[in-house]
Chain A
Amino acid sequence: MDIDYFRLIDRIVDLNLDEKRITVEAQVPTVHTIFEGHFPGFPIMPGVLLTEAMAQSSGWLILGVLKFERMPFLAIVKEAKMRGFVSPGSLLTIEAKLEHEGSGFAVTKVKGRVGKELKCSAELTFGLAPFPDPALRVHMDAMANKIGFPLQAITHD
């Protein structure tokens, strides 16, 4: 997890396009300035970052379903629940499922766990748009490679 660059997902553990489901891992750093303020003596991951991690997990799933033809942008956060504290050094496992693919939008349901303990969940809606800049597409390809996105999964139907 690279909080400074808002790259919160470390690796894709599983991507099942038939079931439209993804599992990813995100290693929360043990030390970061965020934890100095949030909170002194009781460092925990901010809920907004957990929500963003759930959004990025969903984003990779949607990119896979759409074969990288369009970019998902977070539009609506519903039912976001922070169910337990996430401490520095935790390994977050996030599972996202595509709930609905509409015309120009997609909806996911996401859950984040540390071990077996459910820590956060949400229903997220994304607007789907053509990549607004070629540099973004190049970046997403590089990130996909870095986090182990199974590109073979989208090259075979």
Chain B
Amino acid sequence: MSSTFDQIANIIAETCDIPRDTIKPESHAIDDLGIDSLDFLDIAFAIDKAFGIKMPLEKWTQEVNDGKATTEQYFVLQNLADRIDELVAAKNAAPGA
């Protein structure tokens, strides 16, 4: 079973037509890969579907805008993978999961 990072990287490569081998765990989705907000909608949809979650993009964006978080915390891909793992764990721990 591939890692969360690998799944995200594959989604980004396919969605944004970025060569898979240029996408690294330390890549910043915006600064390094040049993904814009529209492309990120596509990526978010694919990630939500693949992992059965709802990434709280608006909350994350608000935190960055308010200076409570950095873009690196959410948009460096290994960090994004960690956030997704947390969301999946929270979903699985929820009653009725």
* Contact-residue bracket for chain A: 10 to 19
Name the residue in B38, B42, B45, B57 with the highest tally of chain A Cβ atoms < 10 Å from its Cβ.
Answer: B45
The smallest C-beta distance from B42 to any residue of chain A, in angstroms, reads: 6
A131 to chain B, nearest CB (A): 16
Main secondary structure on chain A at its contact with chain B?
Answer: strand
A102's contact among B38, B44, B59, B61, by CB below 8 Å, is which? B44
Contact B48 A102 (CB under 8 A): yes
Cα distance A75–B54 in the bound complex, in angstroms: 19
Q: How many angstroms between the C-alpha atoms of A67 and B95 in the bound complex? A: 27
Name the residue on A nearest B59 (C-beta).
Answer: A103
B68 in the interface (beta carbon within 8 A): no
A146 in the interface, Cβ–Cβ < 8 Å?
no
Residue numbers in A under 8 Å from B48 (CB-CB): 100, 102
Chain A, residues 98-138, CB within 8 Å of chain B (1/0): the string is 00111111010000000000000000010100000000000
Please report the C-alpha to C-alpha distance between residue A100 and residue B54 in the assembled complex, in whole angstroms.
9
Binding site for A on B (CB under 8 A): 38, 41-42, 44-45, 48-49, 54-59, 61
